[in-house]
Structure 1
Amino acid sequence: MSIIPPAAGAPWATPLAGRLETHLLTSDALRDNPLGDPHVRPLVVYVPPGADGPLPVIYQLQGFTGQVDMWANRAPFRPTHFERLDALFADPAVPRALVVHVDAWTSVGGSQFIDSPGTGRYGTYLVEEVVAFVDEAHDTIADRDHRAVAGKSSGGYGAMVTAMRHPDVFGAFATHAGDAGFELAYLHDEAASARALRDDYDGSWQAFLDDVRSRPALSKGSDAFLLESYAMACCYSTDPDGTVHHPVDPATGLLDEEVWARWQAWDPVRMAPEHADALRSMRAIWIDAGRRDEWFLDLGAQAFAAACKAAGATVTHFELFDAGHMGVEYRYPLAVRHLAEAMSGPSPTGET
């Protein structure tokens, strides 16, 4: 995962006490997806030092625009994600667990880890194909009480909705500033997108897509929120025939209530009451966010935590910390440890 040999040492490379195993998974669920994106995906499994016998598994999901090789990126003066993970498991007091890094990148930036006629069947890919592959390729404890899913931003969203919708597969989850409380998280960018689309592209999403694909990505100030807006519409409000609907009309500036209702149906805060039994069954629920989050996902975290509690679920860790949305990768090992400890105890069936 690095061009630098481990022998170079810090800060260029740190030899891992554990190991990384990279697989290529051929997905039937992603074959012939609407965006024409690859259906053969890399999967990176971190195996901790001292791994012995069947292990619990934590599935780690990336945020919007993430692709799995980015886990090896180094930020200034900071360890890589894999180095942080390895340092966590260097502590013998931390229960052993496999950490599986899932790629759900799309050519519009992301999939939200759900099935959609606008992006493809990424929910099915994760829940059915990835889990089955890992259980076959590695020595795992293959039951829901020993599987967790975690992520940040869109990955945190994926963790919330996947655990709620598939409690037979996952028995714990962690979300770091996951997309929730959609009216506060999304509508300001939807307004900015409508303005940019009106002023720069004569109201045409196709004109934007043609333009952004003709030059270096994100080289124009409006690219980021336009691309995110388009991707979310692909995920939340695409018809079976592939027609993508948007919640704000750039020609009128009006919110389309029917389209917005389709988005809100995917809001974890609004999904929680319907999935109360699933939430109550979780062995661990970790929710955190930076209190200065630029997308107000700290408020979404509060709202989702409140919805979990209203559903009768136990939120085992909730925290707002001093940060924004970016540069919070140091939080991930904290949640990994929390999930590993939760899954190391006896399950409700008495298994360990």
Structure 2
Amino acid sequence: MKRKRLTAFLFAILLAPVFTFAQSPLNGSVERIKVHGKSLEGNLEGNPADPDVSVYLPPSYKKESKRRFPVVYLLHGFTDTDAQWYGFVKHWINLPVIVDKVFASGQAQEMIIVTPNALTRSGGSYYSNSITAGNWEDFVSKELVAYIDQHYRTIAKPASRGLAGHSMGGYGTIRIGERHPEIFSSIYLLSPCCLAPGNARSADALAKIEAVKTPDDIAKADFMTKAALAYAAAWSPNPLRPPFYTDAIVENGKVNPAAELKWNANMPLTSIDQYITNLKQMKGIGFDAGDRDQPIAANIKILHQVLDNYKIEHTYEEYQGDHINKIGERIETKMLPFFSKNLVSK
């Protein structure tokens, strides 16, 4: 009897790895590389010209050596990094885990996902062109896309390229997407910030901005103070005003009106009518936000109304949630299926 039990036990051990392998979901892999950008060279903040870039390769990438894949360029938010989103650093989201789940379940076709590290000295590039922070719009839309097409098995055409982002990344998505339909055919905005002017700053908030005197002070500043400094670096650069190389943000206890005009001019709802022809070329446009995420939820409703006025097809949803608590779920159930539907996979 003991010998039979021992034999059965050993037999089970031998079979266990086979069973586990067969039942395990297929997982993709992540590479973290550096991509040099000539468009980022010489920026006055001293941000790297060869930022880190995280690349998610789907499960079939290494198994099917001749297969090519559509690509989604996913832009992270303000003060975030690619490392946080891809699980290299603990964060509120782990993108590869979400994407593995979606592909294993068959909810979406497999695709490559690419995220550059757009963290700058002041907290974020806003994916804009600036002598101070660097020409991030050019880097993402031209140099990064060219590099990925050259080094990975992509389907290198606009119909197979999507652009998405959260918060600052959502802003970057519509900014770059509406300017470059020859590069990206579909865009998805997750809780996009900075679509419209607003958010009047209190006297206390202005005093905090004025208290930042050196680059070292930025690390100690609160989120909204950093955001103002990043706005200035992205949208009101000034090469003659060290150490921040921006127009003055505060003058005589008030927001500098010249700087504010430049900021407002860079907010998509102020200029969207100039890009309608480009937006009409898009295969897919989607965006959403949580109902407690104000003023973002109110602003995407305006975006929805503008696109409706021009009879541009799009998907729009305001769901129950805040700025981050449902983003993983939205990527799983909305964003990835959206790109699966709209991106050409052959």
Scaled by the length of structure 2, what TM-score is found?
0.83
How far apart, in 1, do the equivalents of 2:28 and 2:340 lie?
A: 16
Q: 1:297 Cα shift?
A: 0.5
1:212/1:237 Cα in 2 relative to 1: closer, same or farther (>3 Å)? closer
The alignment status of 1:195 with 2:204, answered yes or no, reads yes
Backbone CA RMSD of aligned residues: 2.4
Match of 2:213 among 185, 206, 209: 206
Q: 1:264 Cα shift?
A: 1.8
1:147/1:41 Cα in 2 relative to 1: closer, same or farther (>3 Å)? same
How far apart, in 1, do the equivalents of 2:155 and 2:224 lie?
A: 41
Aligned to 1:308: 307
Three-state SS of the structure 2 residue aligned to 1:150 is strand
1:338/1:18 Cα in 2 relative to 1: closer, same or farther (>3 Å)? same
Residue pair 1:248, 1:256 contacting (<8 A) in 2 also: yes
Q: Which has the larger radius of gyration?
A: 2
The alignment status of 1:41 with 2:41, answered yes or no, reads no
Three-state SS of the structure 2 residue aligned to 1:279 is helix
How far apart, in 2, do the equivalents of 1:323 and 1:141 lie?
A: 35
Residue pair 2:35, 2:51 contacting (<8 A) in 1 also: yes
Three-state SS of the structure 2 residue aligned to 1:40 is coil
Please give the residue correspondences for 1:139-288 in structure 2 after superposition, counting only pairs within 5 Å.
139-184=153-198, 187-188=199-200, 191-192=201-202, 194-198=203-207, 203-206=210-213, 209-213=215-219, 217=220, 223-239=222-238, 241=240, 243-245=245-247, 249=251, 251-253=252-254, 255-288=255-288
Give CA deviations for 1:243-294 in whole Å, capped at 9, x if unaligned.
Answer: 4235654x343x544332212221111221100011111111111001101x
The alignment status of 1:124 with 2:144, answered yes or no, reads no
Three-state SS of the structure 1 residue aligned to 2:231 is helix
Match of 2:29 among 13, 19, 28: 19
**Identical-pair percentage:** 24
How far apart, in 2, do the equivalents of 1:29 and 1:121 lie?
A: 5
1:169/1:258 Cα in 2 relative to 1: closer, same or farther (>3 Å)? same
Structure 2 residue runs of 5 or longer lacking an equivalent are 1-16, 18-23
Give CA deviations for 1:202-240 in whole Å, capped at 9, x if unaligned.
Answer: x45426x44344xxx45xxxx211111111111112235
Residue 300 of structure 2 aligns to which amino acid in structure 1? A
How far apart, in 1, do the equivalents of 2:316 and 2:60 lie?
A: 30
How far apart, in 2, do the equivalents of 1:151 and 1:282 lie?
A: 16
Aligned to 2:129: 115
Poorly superposed stretches of 4+, deviation over 6 Å: none
Residue 319 of structure 1 aligns to which amino acid in structure 2? E
How far apart, in 2, do the equivalents of 1:81 and 1:50 lie?
A: 18
Match of 2:82 among 56, 68, 87: 68
Residue 66 of structure 1 aligns to which amino acid in structure 2? D
Q: 1:54 Cα shift?
A: 1.7
1:75/1:120 Cα in 2 relative to 1: closer, same or farther (>3 Å)? closer
Q: 1:161 Cα shift?
A: 0.7
Match of 2:323 among 296, 307, 325: 325
Aligned length: 313
The alignment status of 1:337 with 2:343, answered yes or no, reads no
Residue pair 1:153, 1:177 contacting (<8 A) in 2 also: yes
How far apart, in 1, do the equivalents of 2:76 and 2:164 lie?
A: 9
Residue 195 of structure 1 aligns to which amino acid in structure 2? D
Residue 286 of structure 2 aligns to which amino acid in structure 1? W
Residue pair 2:168, 2:194 contacting (<8 A) in 1 also: no
Three-state SS of the structure 2 residue aligned to 1:304 is helix
Three-state SS of the structure 1 residue aligned to 2:34 is strand
